Amino acid sequence: MHVYIIRHGHAIDEGPGLSDESRYLTKKGRKTVREIGRVLRELGVEFDAILTSPLVRAVQTAELIAERTDYVDVIEALPALAPGVPPRIAAAELASRGVHVAVVGHEPGLSMLGAYLTGRPAFPPLRKAQVSAVQDGKPLWMIHPDTLEKDRLLIS
């Protein structure tokens, strides 16, 4: 199974009248996520499923990734990807969704999920709009959101 762990792009700050759950992507966040999606398409990445946290910024990120990678199926909001949910709960949902699954969410939950999937005590925290690929429990590669370069994913 290939799992593509994707952190949401840059979002506006929480403020009066705007809860954390309602925060949405900034112009910079949308641009970076679109570029990440383009790189994924150029790498030939295709998804059987895209799962996302139900929070607005994650849903928007998932939609932009889907658009850029020509994914036309349903994007599923998965409550297990919301902040504060133990990673084993989200991990249990992945296998039934296909072989190539994108997971869009938040830190520190995503790095905890990465550690869980790789059977390691820790996983490198993801920067905003970063993608980290894990195949059959092994770390593969990551895409740097600033440089858009693919690099080996090194974990301890």
Q: What pLDDT does residue 14 have?
A: 87
Tell me the CATH architecture of domain 2-12+20-152: 3-Layer(aba) Sandwich (3.40)
Backbone angles phi, psi at 75, to 5 degrees: -95, 120
Q: Is the pTM of this model over 0.85?
A: yes
pLDDT tens-digit series, residues 110-156: 999 999 999 999 999 999 999 999 999 999 999 999 999 999 998 86
pLDDT tens-digit series, residues 43-83: 999 999 999 999 999 999 999 999 999 999 999 999 999 99
Q: What pLDDT does residue 86 have?
A: 95
Q: What pLDDT does residue 155 have?
A: 80
pLDDT tens-digit series, residues 20-44: 999 999 999 999 999 999 999 999 9
Q: What pLDDT does residue 104 have?
A: 98
In this structure, what DSSP letter does residue 127 have? P
Q: What pLDDT does residue 156 have?
A: 66
Residue of 104, 101, 154, 95 whose CA lies nearest to 130: 104
Residue with token string 């039934």: 96
Q: What pLDDT does residue 7 have?
A: 98
List the chain domain ranges.
2-12+20-152
**How is the beta sheet containing 138-143 ordered, strand by strand?**
75-77, 49-52, 100-105, 2-7, 131-135, 138-143, 150-152
If you average pLDDT over every residue of the chain, what do you get?
A: 96
